[in-house]
Structure 1
Amino acid sequence: MSSIGKRLLATTADIAASIEARSAQGEAGKPPLPRTAPGQMLAARSEMLAMQGELQALRDKLKSFDGSLPTVKLDPALVDTTRWANRHATAFTTAAFARLKSSIELAGGNTQPILVRCCETAGRYEIVFGHRRHRACLELGLPVLAVVWDGEMPDLDLFLSMDRENREREDPSAYEQGITYLAALDAGLFPSQRRLAEAIGVSHTWVRKATQVAQLPAAIVETFETPLDIQPRHAEEITQSLDQDRKAVLRRAERVRQMTRRPSPGQIVAHLTGRVAEKTAPEKFHAGGRLAGVWKRDSRGRAVITLEAHAADDAFMDELSDIVMKMLNRPRG
């Protein structure tokens, strides 16, 4: 039984004792009992029934708290995210998060409490689940409604509780889940992907696919607007290309990152895997109405500039060299 349950039980015990005392000796300040024996018996019975009803009401309330924990309002600044957190930073910029934040603002706080456990540092807490609700309250400057776990909660229990709660509410992306699965495996919470899958109640295939997304090189992940866009099928195709020619894929990734307009996730995969033909046709540029030169990328992704003789005298080349050096050495955003 929870601590609040024990306190309520103690309260009902005190009332029970009070009933017995009051039935034996009466209560100060009450109107005197009737003088006749039948009247006295009727009055005493009425008071006993009223007090017994009060006792039963409290005992019914006690049952509703049995096995549960009380909620408290905490300063969200005192609540830390767990190292098992499976929400990427971009998950807090989505339309779904904006809707959640708006509903919490309208309600004056989160109506569904988060679950936290106590940290070793006194007065601080660690989130078990409810990272999105906590983040919304933090950004809104509102206290966060929370249930504080009474007692010890091992990391394994925390991980399982967080995973179950998140999947029941709104599935994290494959990337987010993959990051969490890898963290749990690295920490030794599970001896294998298969055991992890069995513990959380998902297929081993899903765990393998999610971790494959999370294991993509950072240079690849950065080509997407957000890692949340990367689907398992994307990761599988990219991984196959990396196995065949890693350097070529990373060169393509660099060119994608330098694009002024971000392609769609499907187009990015096409670029990375070489399904989009590299631009090899030279682009011409003119000066004074005459052809001055051409530039193109070779098979290794290098930019090759060819200048016509009339446009490339020594003085021009010295000036061009200085300009190119300055551009290469300037900070890039």
Structure 2
Amino acid sequence: MKKPARQSIVASFGLLSQTASESDSESMRPDAGLENFTTPTPRVPAGVIGATQRTLSDIREERDRLQAIVDAGAGGIVELDSNIIDPSPFPDRLPDDDDAGFQEFKRSLAEDGQRIPVQVRRHPERPERYQIVYGHRRVRAARELGIAVKAIVRDLDDGELVVSQGLENASRQDLSWVERAVFARRMESAGIRARDIRGALSIDDAELAKMRSVWRTLPDDVIIAIGRAPKIGRPRWLELAAELAKAPSQIVVARETLSADKVRAEPSDIRFQMVLSAVSGAKAPLEKPTFDLMASDGQSVGKAMFGNREIRLKVEAHSANEFASFFRSELPELMKRFEASRRGR
């Protein structure tokens, strides 16, 4: 007699993320980093994935048990040397734009101590070390402060670890779109089924297809160099992927743009915009200033620059406010003249 199919842990995670109470403790929320994003992703054998199957009640019981441990602040929590804890082999974070937030977090940890334990598993190849399930920032802060880390040690194989992160991701609101896409790729590379990836991240098949179109077109190093880009949503990433799909050689342009020191110093949202502009406008780049804005007395007011997709006005500081006010007032009439010229063609 054929046994009925059992629901995989990832699908169960997806269901749990939809039904769990919104009052779940913030202590179960990861703040994973991406120090080793380029670590090669091991492929999980089908047997390993099958071994991760559990029932929904099992997952509920484990979460409740871990939450009780955290609330009690006692049994099950150990102190580990932060120097023997490695990042997860399946990172889900891209680097932050600046370090200010982390430095504040580290200062708080130094003053108030670690209130919430991290979760780790024993390193599968180096039993004297551990790997993070969640809590990357806490481990990094403790390492820099030279203090031990409070942790809960879990017995997880690769499949369980990656889908555990999927569960956490499903309830996190601060992951950018591209970070979610990158993590979906990580799960797919680990052999997780598409339906389980959709359940883990609470997305549909169409959304997963859009994510695939981005990660299959943009190389890892380009995505990493751009960064989190929290203000850049799916449409813009799809636009960039479409530009590179039309002209794959433009990936060289993207890499060259991102290698410039002045670009690396910009926030990730700006880096994205600069790459998109470079890739889409490479055949007809913005021209050099072609029109000097001169007052009747010969004083320079600014410069006008014209490109195939944009016009830039750079106004001198002494005239900026006055010129901006004048330009705003003239725009309605200018648009009327523009429309009239179009009709007259």
Give the TM interval when normalised to the shorter protein. 0.5 to 0.7
- Pair 140,201 (structure 1): closer, same or farther in 2 beyond 3 Å: same
Matching residue of 2:161 = 158
Q: How far 1:204 moved relative to its partner?
A: 3.5
Matching residue of 1:266 = 273
Quick check: 1:223–1:268 contact (8 Å CA) kept in 2? no
Give the total of aligned pairs.
212
Q: Does 1:178 align with 2:171?
A: no
Runs (5+) with no aligned partner, structure 2: 1-67, 291-345
Q: Does 1:117 align with 2:124?
A: no
Quick check: 1:213–1:235 contact (8 Å CA) kept in 2? yes
Q: Counterparts in 2 of 1:214-253, with a 5 A limit?
A: 214-215=215-216, 216-218=218-220, 220-221=222-223, 224=226, 226-228=227-229, 231-247=233-249, 249-250=250-251, 252-253=253-254
Letter in 2 for 1:266: Q
- Pair 261,77 (structure 1): closer, same or farther in 2 beyond 3 Å: closer
Task: Identify which of 100, 103, 112 aligns with 2:105.
Answer: 100
Quick check: 1:91–1:97 contact (8 Å CA) kept in 2? no
- Alignment partners' CA distance in 2, 1:105 and 1:212: 43
Q: Counterparts in 2 of 1:129-148, with a 5 A limit?
A: 129-148=134-153
- Pair 251,96 (structure 1): closer, same or farther in 2 beyond 3 Å: same
Q: How far 1:267 moved relative to its partner?
A: 4.0
Q: Counterparts in 2 of 1:1-333, with a 5 A limit?
A: 70-88=76-94, 90-91=95-96, 93-108=98-113, 110-120=114-124, 121-149=126-154, 152-166=155-169, 168=171, 171-188=174-191, 190-192=192-194, 194-215=195-216, 216-218=218-220, 220-221=222-223, 224=226, 226-228=227-229, 231-247=233-249, 249-250=250-251, 252-253=253-254, 256-257=257-258, 261-262=262-263, 264=270, 265-274=272-281, 277-279=284-286
Quick check: 2:257–2:274 contact (8 Å CA) kept in 1? no
Quick check: 2:79–2:151 contact (8 Å CA) kept in 1? yes
Once the two structures are superposed, what CA deviation does each residue of 1:155-188 show, in whole Å capped at 9, x if it has no partner? 3322222233355456333333333322221221
- Alignment partners' CA distance in 1, 2:153 and 2:109: 20
- Pair 218,86 (structure 1): closer, same or farther in 2 beyond 3 Å: closer
- Alignment partners' CA distance in 1, 2:276 and 2:88: 32
Q: How far 1:211 moved relative to its partner?
A: 4.4
Overall identity of the aligned pairs, in %: 25
TM-score, length of structure 1 as denominator length = 0.53
- Alignment partners' CA distance in 1, 2:91 and 2:115: 21
Q: How far 1:271 moved relative to its partner?
A: 2.5
Letter in 1 for 2:93: R
Larger CA Rg, structure 1 vs 2: 1
Runs (5+) with no aligned partner, structure 1: 1-63, 284-333
- Alignment partners' CA distance in 2, 1:145 and 1:276: 55
Q: Which has the higher contact order (CA 8 A, sep 6+)?
A: 2
Quick check: 1:223–1:256 contact (8 Å CA) kept in 2? no
Letter in 2 for 1:111: R
- Pair 99,186 (structure 1): closer, same or farther in 2 beyond 3 Å: same
Q: How far 1:213 moved relative to its partner?
A: 4.2
Q: How far 1:220 moved relative to its partner?
A: 4.1
**Match of 1:91, SS?**
coil
Quick check: 2:185–2:212 contact (8 Å CA) kept in 1? yes
RMSD: 3.6
